[in-house]
Structure 1
């Protein structure tokens, strides 16, 4: 065989091997949490395969690092969660995915970042993060007849184009259907189907992701703590997401927290401990006293200028309807009372669920700062142009009844941080913006 022919055969074999490796990837790669010393990398294959990641500082490409190798298995949905643990603070890394020893190529950048070590050195970094909720991906054989409920998948390209540091998914991140929620097999299918959406892949690979759940990715519509497969639900959530911690109460749910720069995020579970919506026979709870007390303690220890509390449903809205917290008035009053008693500053609630977006502002008395609640929904599921007629705290000019997402920017010196909220439609066009100063979320000093 001539040298030229041999060369062509080798090139063809390499191309075939690379193509085969790419065919073995079901979804991802996806970035999970990031810290100053490690980051989580996630991928799902189509069948058992040995996977690992290699990565390097963009400024030092010759010094390469590898994660451990892991062979995916059918019993965990062929998912691999691997840790890049040889990173240094404030760096940007290029990473590569290898399946059965072959590099998987993508036509978009695969990069992650480590968080900045700024304390005692500089002002905190500028931070950009995306928020959104309610992602429905159509699958005709399991969907209701008629007009598809999911659409507008290009919204994920619009989020990707904004280049956020991370994205916080605010629940209903997938929609379990009647064929799904009674079995572990159904859970695996639904999570896999949603995660495999083509338009989602560039965003997964380039942005760090954190998440909470609401009813549709926990179980049936309006599901609560009586759901018999709630342990399976928690297992699936932990398998497909990459939060740095879960179950802070050690009682089975997904409560947790994380930091980014000088910001603190508290991820609450509004399903695992919830009383059924129509059960009024005793004490009613959505979060439960134990979770609220954990939250107050965690908030009290935080020095963050903005303390973001992520929860699946609206907190401040005074509409006692649907699944708003106002339908649990006693527990909601307890939560707000404890925030005020502890003199916790800088609180902003982030939530989804309602299939429209609105910013609510509550100020109970002259001597307290206003609490804010940003509802951001939906990403791809059906949108509703609700007017929130009975929400006394809504800001009228922030009501949005179409597919949308938010980009939150925090900037400024350490002692004078400013939050800028921008809401965009599915094409990435800005719909509204609001500015909130950290100093306006403080108690007046005598």
Structure 2
């Protein structure tokens, strides 16, 4: 009986009634109204917040709402409650699929910050850390700081109504929790970051819906919220499978890419190529789709992969760069000599030109990071009179796994013991004094278990 009376009392307290037994229209206490409003704003959050690029004087953040709303980021230095700063406020709208880029520009170099997402002026409570950092001003002062970053490609998120019949192609979404647990400084998404489908390829509505669907994966949100993110694309987030420069909707997928990612720059008006720095390393995010000739075109000088404009920019930028490690990031494999699938070797004329130019210019410190192949592997190309070229392929994150062809494992470039044929991600660390920097490469499975590890000294790439 006591339990029944207590239950009735709780019900009475939770729903006010007037003297006539009707629900009263009494005003909620201020604290209750604020909590209710905050809950309503949380419901309007579609995906994010995501931490984008980091520089010494600014950091870009991103968010997507479900409907039009005023959004803003409030932030302060970790360990200090004041001063508190606000980004620009953005009114999300249907035309930009309710996404917003929010600039934190009242920051100092080498600091860590905590932040809150505000929707309609109310804080959105999230069950995981929301934080970002600025890059260090180390030049002429100290050795470059150590850092580490995650890499991965091929993120397929199932949608049964429009997926092909049969076994689901995507899965293992817990990989994003394993990545978050490693606490990388940043993440590089190396292509196929979403998979557009038949229902998406011909309309802007379809493309934006697919980008939204993938970005809204719950398991992905903690990683986005506390790790800086950079990206390039490959065929599936660019267009249909094996899509090339002829894809009719590429201006729309480029618009979607720029709406959903926050790279610090785009060096051409067309395509997503760009670059960024982290401490003493430079990353070149290459676009292997916008200028690409069809795969079945006969090889020769006219068969573009990166294309003349992008190739010249890359060679100039590599020559200009003084970075210890120069990471060239793109979708398809570069070093693997097997002329199969969409490997760069099927564009042999341009590939030979790139390798020759790197040798003749005596550019040190170059490594390739690639994806696409739905397995991870390390290739090493020995070159006469100079250092070898490495190509680390990391794939897939959540797509299905694929085996390499048997002849690929017989190539002299294959580094024995580096093949991983399960869902996985890469974790790369750069450390050591400026005159002896070391790159450690690890590949971990979807649960975060290490599959292999290799060290590579900067002195080996000179």
Question: TM-score, normalised to structure 2's length?
Answer: 0.92
8 A Cα contact 2:299 2:347, kept in partner: no
8 A Cα contact 1:128 1:407, kept in partner: yes
Alignment map for 1:60-79 (pairs within 5 Å): 60-79=80-99
Looking at structure 2, the residues matched to 61 and 216 of structure 1 have their Cα atoms a distance apart, in angstroms, of 44
The equivalent residue for 1:371 is 389
The equivalent residue for 1:285 is 304
1:108 aligns with 2:128: yes
Pairwise CA distance, 1:62: 1.8
From 278, 285, 302, the equivalent of 1:260 is 278
The equivalent residue for 1:315 is 334
The equivalent residue for 1:408 is 428
The equivalent residue for 2:163 is 143
Question: TM-score, normalised to structure 1's length?
Answer: 0.96
The equivalent residue for 1:432 is 452
8 A Cα contact 1:182 1:229, kept in partner: yes
The equivalent residue for 2:237 is 217
Looking at structure 1, the residues matched to 122 and 203 of structure 2 have their Cα atoms a distance apart, in angstroms, of 34
Farther-moved stretch of structure 1 (69-78 vs 12-21):
12-21
Look at both structures and tell me which one has the larger radius of gyration over its CA atoms: 2
The equivalent residue for 1:206 is 226
Looking at structure 2, the residues matched to 380 and 20 of structure 1 have their Cα atoms a distance apart, in angstroms, of 32
Question: For each residue in 1:115-167, what CA deviation from the matched residue of structure 2 results, as whole angstroms up to 9, or x when unmatched?
Answer: 00000110000010000000000001110001000000000000000000000
Pairwise CA distance, 1:385: 2.9
The equivalent residue for 1:272 is 290
Cα 1:422–1:281 shift into 2, 3 Å: closer
Aligned partner of residue 213 in structure 2, secondary structure: helix
Question: For each residue in 1:388-439, what CA deviation from the matched residue of structure 2 results, as whole angstroms up to 9, or x when unmatched?
Answer: 5233301120001000000000000011100000000000000000000000
Query: Which runs of 5 or more residues in structure 2 are unaligned?
Result: 1-12, 17-25
8 A Cα contact 2:299 2:346, kept in partner: no
Question: For each residue in 1:162-191, what CA deviation from the matched residue of structure 2 results, as whole angstroms up to 9, or x when unmatched?
Answer: 000000000000000000011100011000
Alignment map for 1:380-399 (pairs within 5 Å): 380-386=398-404, 389-390=407-408, 391-399=411-419
The equivalent residue for 2:373 is 354
8 A Cα contact 1:319 1:388, kept in partner: no
Alignment map for 1:61-100 (pairs within 5 Å): 61-100=81-120
Query: Which runs of 5 or more residues in structure 1 are unaligned?
Result: none
From 49, 61, 67, the equivalent of 1:41 is 61
Looking at structure 2, the residues matched to 421 and 8 of structure 1 have their Cα atoms a distance apart, in angstroms, of 56
Question: For each residue in 1:249-281, what CA deviation from the matched residue of structure 2 results, as whole angstroms up to 9, or x when unmatched?
Answer: 34x111100000010000100000000111228
8 A Cα contact 1:385 1:400, kept in partner: no
The equivalent residue for 2:183 is 163
1:52 aligns with 2:108: no
The equivalent residue for 2:356 is 337
8 A Cα contact 2:299 2:348, kept in partner: no
Looking at structure 2, the residues matched to 73 and 388 of structure 1 have their Cα atoms a distance apart, in angstroms, of 51
Q: RMSD of the TM alignment (CA)?
A: 1.4
8 A Cα contact 1:318 1:392, kept in partner: no
